[in-house]
Structure 1
Amino acid sequence: MGNHATVTITGNLTADPQVHDFDSGSRKARFAVACTPSTRDKETGGYRDLSTTFYDVDCWNHLAQNVMSSLHKGDPVIVTGRISVDSWQGQDGGQRQKVVVTASTVGHDLSRGTAQFRRPQREEPSEVGQEQMQREGVPA
């Protein structure tokens, strides 16, 4: 597969995540993050916002499910993942592009608030699965 640029972005969700389930059984959640860096103004000593950049973020399968259960419009987040550029031809014939981050990790930005972590419920192993785990020496 080649080299990929990995990035970490921080910002706020512009809307609630949207989910798409595929016939293959895969699930994708997509949301947009607005990133607005600030800089210290040397004249006033205060801070001022610079230009906002928007990133689409794709999350797959278990991460998608956790994102759907955890994130909402306006939440401050930290996202790490592979960055790529999607290109397409617009209705007017012009070339369009957008930056997409395929997330490997997503979390609330705890420098801006608090959160309460919950582990998702996992299905209990079947009796057959429990017997096999015992035979293999896996503790229950």
Structure 2
Amino acid sequence: MFETYMTVIGNVANKPDRRDTPTGEVVSFRLGSTARYWSEEEKSWRDGNSLFLTVNCWRRLVNGVALGVVKGAPVIAHGPVRLREYTTTEGQRRSVMEMRAVSVGLDLARCLAERVDQQRRSGPADDAEPGDARPAREGEGTPASSGPAPGAAGYGGIPEAADGLREPEPVEA
């Protein structure tokens, strides 16, 4: 049974898989998270241990994850986890860590995203109230065209600084 909740920050390791099951529609993907630490001896960042788990998204998460999450996307996933054991067709015992996601979102510290509500207001964007989503006009906002693919939620449009940190470009009003 799922009981232990975790929040995992990492990158999507495969293309999310959307499928129908007897209990409803689900989107699943593998999430990889690698710890990093500063090595004083080498004066550089080093990779530590890695965690990989399968994230299963049900109900209201299905459409959002299927449309907004792609392979390589930096995400934050939260939900209960469990260790599932199974036997392969060759008779080998295996185990896999799984999360039944309660929430999945793009990591905005490492990407840019544009908000699109599931229910849009009708009428011109100028009539929208503060906080309402509106489609971007051509040439508006930070360029996301260097991203991996359309529908990739705008990540990849952040230039890399000389020190390796990624900062968004200033946007003219």
Runs of 4+ that moved beyond 3 A:
none
Residues 10 and 28 of structure 1: CA distance in aligned 2, closer, same or farther (over 3 Å):
same
| Higher Cα radius of gyration | 1
- The answer for the alignment partner of 2:107 in structure 1 is 109
> Which segments of 5 or more consecutive residues in structure 1 lack a partner in the other structure?
123-140
Equivalent in the alignment of 1:77: 75
Partner residue of 1:9? 8
Q: Give the structure 1 partner of residue 29 of structure 2.
A: 31
- In the TM superposition, 1:1-140 aligns within 5 A as 4-23=3-22, 26-121=24-119
- Tell me: higher relative CO, structure 1 or 2? Use CA pairs within 8 A at least 6 residues apart: 1
CA distance in 1, matches of 2:6, 2:75: 14
Residue 17 of structure 1: how far off its partner (Å): 0.8
Separation in 2 of the partners of 1:99 and 1:23? 22
Q: Cα distance 1:85–1:39, how it changes in 2: closer, same or farther (>3 A)?
A: same
Name the aligned partner's letter for residue 20 of structure 2.
D
Tell me by how many angstroms 1:94 deviates: 2.0
Cα deviation for residue 23 of structure 1 reads 4.6
Amino acid at match of 1:9: V
Q: Deviations over 1:72-131 (max 9, x none)?
A: 010000000000111111223221100001100000011112111111138xxxxxxxxx
Residues in 1 aligned to 2:36 and 2:54: alpha-carbon distance in whole angstroms: 21
Task: Report the number of matched residues.
Answer: 120
Q: Tell me, which stretches of 5 or more residues in structure 2 are unaligned? A: 121-173
Q: Under a length normalisation based on structure 2, what TM-score does the superposition of the two structures give?
A: 0.65
Q: Give the SS at the match of 2:89.
A: coil
User: 1:103, 1:86 → 2: CA distance?
Assistant: 15
With the length of structure 1 as denominator, give the TM-score of the two structures: 0.79
Higher helix share: 1
% identical equivalent positions = 28
